[in-house]
Structure 1
Amino acid sequence: MTSTRPALRDFYENPSAPVASGTPRTLRQTRILAAALTGTRRATVLDVGCGDGSAAAITARRLPGHHLIGVDWSQNALRRAAIRVPEVVRGELTDHGLPFRDSAADAVLLSEVIEHLVDPDTALDELRRVLRPGGHLMLSTPNLAAWYNRALLLAGVQPVFSEVSLRAIHGRPGTEVVGHLRLYTRRALCAFVAAAGFEIVRVTGAPFHGVPRPLRPLDRVACAAPSLASILLLHARKT
């Protein structure tokens, strides 16, 4: 049996692979983080899986006085991120794969990363290691149970965000292969993160930039009910 790891590395090192988060979810996530860091002086914030740095740059501008570091495993992504983010480092979500000491960070951003991971359990263990006690985890991921996915499944259509191949789209709407290996509902995500030693603070929703324009008002309305929203935004604290 061949390993999926080399194929995934090739996929994410490809310059055409999507590596940036959508602006609406970045702004929502940053507002939640900024509120969480109120009263914290010069917090160290790690954007793990920073991609090309576009989301990290938006976050850094809205967190003045704090120290944001972009982290990614892709050398190609880091070269692009270095143009936008003052500090970038290479790291992986493996056991001690992040180049930081225990309890070094006040907050970690994990934006649209967990759905790409072969081993999300070890990833959360590693994030918990580098977070200080009470430190903040800001995680975002596509929602398997988004309002349109429920309708698609009833019609026997593969859900949006799900993948059956790294080479082409098969059986679902969309035109872009994004490399998703697993998807979460709100309930599953909360249970998974809590089991890794985090206290769930809040889950909110965010819109998806890929929703067809006529349906975007409905997608924004769905954000009021996170279990139906396109994107899940989870805020948790290390216990």
Structure 2
Amino acid sequence: MSATTNRTTSTATTASPATPERDGLRGFYENPAVPVASGTARSIRQARMLAAALGPATAGVRTVLDMGCGDGTAAATAAPLLAGHRIIGVDWSQDVLRRARTRLPYVVRGELSDGGLPFATAGADAVLFSEVVEHLVDPDGALEEIHRVLRPGGHLMLSTPNLAAWYNRALLLAGVQPVFSEVSLRAVHGRPGTEVVGHLRLYTARALRSFVAASGFEVVRLRGAPFHGVPRPLRPLDRLACALPSVASLLLLHARRS
């Protein structure tokens, strides 16, 4: 299995072009060889959840911020389901923003640090936070900043890989490093897959609920989504696992700013 996310994944090679030791984490994520697109199944499921929460644009145009938009592929996939609403791609990487401009009408540079987003307090109606939180050194600070820019009652749509996915439970029983987890940013060690994904932390469904609630949000719903990197013969089983989010490949969480 491999993992491709909004902001990460680099194919592991003998001579990695960017490592934290040489260039810092920014160098790793700025590497132009690093894919920054995400799976469409997750993007569509997440967009459907958000569209249901926002309602049609005829009832009022809403501002949706796609935090860590990468090259804009995920937001562009979601756009038809959010027709009429204003989607703004946000990322700190100028390189991926150049690519995102070919897919999105609005892109802005910003950082998920204290006051690092160029948006007014309570100015956004929704935030898409797709497979970003697992890459952050300071996820607490990131959610605080998202909480600041969302209006009261605004929607947070967060997705992240599930540490307790059904196959990870089996791998751990066999003494194998779980999929999505990382012991090095230079090469894959001891787990399935061939790509270095750059994950710094992973969540179970229970931990994600608790973390988001402690950050000032009311958790509305948690759903599961399939992972495009699952081997083809196992994909029907992966889709079935979505019915029970605690064992699904990906976690899709909808929360409201309290």
Same fold? TM cut 0.5: yes
Deviation at 1:18, TM superposition (A): 2.6
* Equivalent residue runs for 1:29-68 within 5 Å: 29-38=46-55, 40-68=59-87
For CA contacts below 8 A with separation 6 or more, give which structure has more relative contact order.
2
Match of 1:203 in 2: 222
- Tell me how far 1:38 sits from its aligned partner: 1.2
> CA offsets per residue over residues 190-227 of structure 1, 9 Å max, x none?
00000000000000000000000000000000000000
Q: Is the 8 A contact 1:201 1:236 kept in 2?
A: yes
Q: 1:226 to 1:101 in 2, by over 3 A?
A: same
146, 163, 168: which one aligns with 1:149: 168
Deviation at 1:21, TM superposition (A): 1.3
Matched, 1:97 2:111: no
Q: Which string of whole-angstrom CA distances, capped at 9 and with x for unpartnered residues, describes residues 15-61 of structure 1?
A: 12131111000000000000000165110000000001001111222
Q: What SS class does the counterpart of residue 165 from structure 1 fall into?
A: coil
Distance 1:59 1:196, change over 3 A: same
1:52-201 correspondence runs (5 A): 52-201=71-220
- Tell me the alpha carbon deviations over residues 81-114 of structure 1, each in whole angstroms, 9 at most, x when there is no partner: 0100001011111001111010010000000000
CA distance in 2, matches of 1:64, 1:105: 17
Letter in 2 for 1:95: D
Aligned to 1:26: 43
SS of the residue 2:224 aligns to: strand
Q: Determine the C-alpha separation between the residues in 2 that align with 1:66 and 1:103.
A: 17
Deviation at 1:62, TM superposition (A): 1.7
Runs of 4+ in 1 over 4 A off after TM superposition: 3-6
Partner of 1:15, secondary structure, is: coil
Structure 1 unaligned runs (5+)? none
Does structure 2 conserve the Cα–Cα contact (< 8 Å) formed by 1:17 and 1:178?
Answer: no
- DSSP-derived class of the 2:82 partner: coil
| Match status 1:222 vs 2:222 | no
More deviation in 121-130 or 17-26?
17-26
Q: 1: distance between equivalents of 2:21 and 2:204?
A: 24
Pairwise CA RMSD of aligned residues?
1.3
Gaps of 5+ in 2: 1-19
Q: Distance in 2 between matches of 1:61 and 1:90?
A: 24
Q: Which amino acid aligns with 2:130?
A: S
Establish whether residue 237 from structure 1 lines up as the match of residue 256 from structure 2: yes
Amino acid across the alignment from 2:37: A
Question: How many residue pairs were aligned?
Answer: 237
Residue of structure 1 aligned with 2:231, choices 212, 215, 228: 212
Q: Which piece of structure 1 moves more, 41-50 or 57-66?
A: 57-66
1:23 partner letter? T
Q: Secondary structure at the match of 2:247?
A: coil
Mapped to 1, the partners of 2:186 and 2:151 lie a distance apart of: 40
Give % identity. 75
Displacement of 1:6 after TM fit? 4.8
Counterpart contact for 1:68–1:87, Cα < 8 Å:
yes
Match in the other structure for 2:11: none
Q: Which amino acid letter does the alignment assign opposite residue 110 of structure 2?
A: G
Residue 33 of structure 2 corresponds to: 16
Cα distance between partner residues in 2 of 1:48 and 1:107? 10
> Does the residue aligned with 2:156 lie in a helix, a strand or coil?
strand
Is the 8 Å Cα contact of residues 147 and 230 (structure 1) preserved in structure 2? Answer: yes
| Letter of the 2:120 counterpart | R
